[in-house]
């Protein structure tokens, strides 16, 4: 879709969309068009009881005394950035019904123009790559969006970093949507290598190299698969070389059968999504690079496939993590933490980050606790937890802090190793037990947040600016946190 910002003017043909704030007069150009159509706009508003509330619109087809195809009055409710972005979602839901391929939006301000275009980019998404039958493909796709505003140049400058974030969200969504026979460790790594064009340094660490580093915990997860386990390091330098980086770690289990602790079929059907953490980190790194964020950032992806075979890891096996701590693997389906713990040790010892965030579709328990719209977070640092909570509120990608320590630490007790990889009381505090496991791998009090996105990485019904399916949750959240808290001014 092509986005263009133009000087404020009333088009004579096509489809016009006016953004209407709740309980305020119509924009000046809308009032002019209302006069031209002998009050058609205001009469339609009265019939529809339209007040500019979010999620509402008025659609006038071929209004009299004009050559226009449609005039749409779209409620944005308020001037907040989120309301403006989410109002675009309402319009996009009508693209096929109204046959909208080209629209001209009239905006009150440059900020409103930029954020509306951003909302359109977030909402106008479909994954149709594998649909070959015409009747299954989108009947209409928005091709051109023109947004009229007072200062098109200023709007474009505001839009440019937002467009970069939207591109990062799209990267994440595309990766999660892809089936596991297309995205597996080697192909995911190759995709990352191609990101060098976005000014990202990319390094792929193979299984032999990880074995030499002592990353036995991670390697154990993938040993039953035909695909080699890999670690990918994405590096972005946007500040002084001497500045400590922020690190983002992603669980990349490209398919999770559960291993020998085999999942039931109904639970396995969606397990191509289990690389959602790695996909989110990848999208975030693209966003930071494309908007030229003034920060140094490291993305570390652990790419494995968890499969049953005669070579697979067995329940009761003991592995030694890179940190030197031993782990009794009591459940091969509690594999994400085995991947992340070695990533955490490697990242801390290699890059010495000033803050570290890991993202993972880690536990079904967090979905039970918090649903599909809120991610669970765990942290050893109150200030960092508060920062990411504030970023979540700003981007409407909310998080909720869950507890660590105490009983959750005791539940990791093993009879023969330093710890076990699941709790010794089934179904008790599952998300916190997983978070506590990871907390044992923090070194030198590195500020750390674990984000469990098992509920938020995918939506079965669609949410504002998040079409049904892969949501891209976490890219906007972490980009906002970087922008507000870590970028050099």
Segments forming the whole domain that contains residue 84: 2-151
Residue 157 falls inside a structural domain: no
pTM: 0.97
52 lies in the same domain as 181:
no
Q: Are residues 141 and 183 in the same domain?
A: no
DSSP class of 136: G
CA dihedral over 370, 165, 304, 350, signed as positive or negative: negative
* The domain boundary residue, chosen from 108, 125, 151: 151
Convert the pLDDT of each residue in 11-20 to its tens digit.
999 999 999 9
In this structure, are residues 326 and 420 in contact, taking their beta carbons and an 8 Å threshold? no
* Active-site position among 291, 337, 387, 420: 337
CATH of the domain at 471: 3.40.630.10
452 pLDDT higher than 80: yes
Determine whether 489 is an active site residue.
no
Catalytic residue among 70, 93, 263, 468: 263
- Residue 342 annotated in ligand binding: no
Q: What percent of the chain has pLDDT over 70?
A: 100
Assess whether 192 and 144 both reside in one domain: no
Specify whether 195 is located in the same domain as 330. yes
Q: Residue 137: what pLDDT?
A: 74
Q: Are residues 128 and 218 in the same domain?
A: no
Query: Could you read off the pLDDT of 411-443 as tens digits, one per residue?
Result: 999 999 999 999 999 889 999 999 999 999 999
Mean pLDDT of the chain: 96
User: How much is the pLDDT for 276?
Assistant: 98
48 assigned binding-site residue: no
Q: Could you tell me the pLDDT band of residue 402, with boundaries at 50, 70 and 90?
A: very high
Is residue 159 a part of any domain in this protein? no
157 is in an annotated binding site: no
- Say if residue 91 is in the same domain as residue 217: no
**Does 415 lie in the same domain as 339?**
yes
- Residue 211 corresponds to which tokens in the numbers above? 């074995």
Same domain, residue pair 175 and 125: no
256 and 143: one domain?
no
> Is residue 293 over pLDDT 80?
yes
Q: Is 335 annotated as a binding residue?
A: yes
pLDDT at residue number 94: 93
User: Same domain, yes or no, for 351 and 441?
Assistant: yes
Residue 274 annotated as lining a ligand binding site: yes
Characterize 311-332 residue by residue with b for buried, 16 or more Cβ atoms within 10 angstroms of its Cβ, and e for exposed: ebbeeebebbbbbebbbbbbbb
> Is there a single domain that holds both residue 65 and residue 200?
no
pLDDT in tens, 338-353: 999 999 999 999 999 9
Least confident of 22-26, 270-274, 291-295: 22-26
Last residue of a domain, one of 92, 118, 151: 151
CATH of the domain at 87: 3.40.220.10
Query: Is 160 a domain residue?
Result: no
Annotated catalytic, 413?
no
Q: What is the pLDDT of residue 135?
A: 74
115 and 177 share one domain: no
Query: Which pLDDT belongs to residue 138?
Result: 74
pLDDT class of 140 with cuts at 50, 70, 90: confident
- Whether 158 maps to a domain, the answer reads no
Given this model, what pLDDT does residue 134 score?
Answer: 76
How far CA 74 is from CA of 64, 374, 396, 404, 446, in Å, comes to 20, 28, 21, 45, 47
As for how many domains the chain has, the answer is: 2
């Amino acid at each position: 879709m092509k986005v263009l910002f133009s000087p404020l003017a009333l088009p004579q043909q096509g489809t016009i969309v006016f953004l209407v704030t709740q309980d305020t007069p119509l924009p000046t150009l809308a009032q002019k068009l209302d006069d031209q159509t002998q009050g058609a706009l205001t009469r339609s508003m009265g019939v529809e009881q339209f007040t500019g509330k979010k999620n509402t619109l008025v659609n006038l087809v071929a209004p009299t005394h004009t050559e226009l195809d449609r005039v749409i009055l779209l409620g944005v409710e308020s001037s907040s950035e989120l309301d403006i972005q989410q109002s675009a979602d309402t319009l996009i839901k009508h693209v096929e019904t109204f046959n909208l391929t080209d629209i001209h939006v009239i905006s009150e301000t440059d900020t409103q123009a930029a954020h509306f275009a951003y909302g359109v980019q977030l909402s106008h998404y479909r994954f149709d790559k594998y649909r070959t039958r015409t009747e299954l493909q989108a009947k209409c796709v928005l091709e051109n969006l023109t947004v009229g505003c007072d200062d098109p140049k200023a709007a474009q400058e505001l839009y440019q970093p937002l467009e970069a974030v939207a591109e990062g969200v799209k990267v994440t969504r595309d990766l999660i949507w892809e089936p596991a026979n297309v995205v597996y460790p080697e192909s995911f790594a190759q995709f990352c290598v191609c990101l060098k064009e976005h000014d990202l340094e990319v390094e792929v660490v193979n299984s032999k190299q990880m074995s030499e580093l002592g990353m036995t915990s991670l390697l154990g997860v993938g040993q039953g698969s035909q695909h080699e386990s890999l670690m990918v390091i994405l590096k972005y330098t946007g500040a002084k070389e001497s500045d400590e980086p922020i690190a983002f770690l992603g669980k990349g289990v490209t398919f999770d059968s559960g291993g020998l602790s085999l999942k039931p079929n109904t639970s396995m059907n969606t397990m191509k999504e289990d690389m959602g953490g790695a996909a989110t980190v990848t999208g975030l790194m693209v966003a930071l690079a494309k908007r030229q964020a003034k920060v140094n950032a490291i993305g570390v992806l652990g790419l494995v496939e968890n499969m049953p075979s005669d070579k697979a890891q067995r329940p009761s096996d003991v592995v030694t993590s890179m940190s030197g701590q031993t782990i009794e693997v009591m459940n091969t389906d509690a594999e994400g933490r085995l991947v992340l713990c070695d990533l955490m040790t490697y990242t801390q010892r290699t890059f010495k980050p000033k803050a570290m965030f890991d993202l993972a579709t880690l536990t079904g328990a967090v979905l039970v606790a918090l649903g599909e719209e809120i991610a669970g977070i765990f942290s050893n640092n109150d200030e960092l937890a508060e920062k990411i909570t504030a970023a979540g509120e700003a981007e409407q990608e909310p998080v909720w802090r869950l507890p660590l320590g105490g009983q959750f630490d005791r539940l990791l007790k093993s009879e023969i190793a330093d710890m076990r990889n699941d709790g010794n009381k089934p179904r008790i505090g599952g998300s916190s037990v997983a978070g506590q496991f990871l907390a044992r791998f923090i070194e030198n009090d590195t500020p750390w947040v674990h984000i469990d996105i098992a509920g938020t990485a995918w939506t079965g019904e669609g949410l504002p600016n998040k079409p049904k399916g892969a949501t891209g949750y976490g890219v906007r959240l972490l980009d906002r946190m970087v922008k507000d808290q870590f970028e050099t001014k």
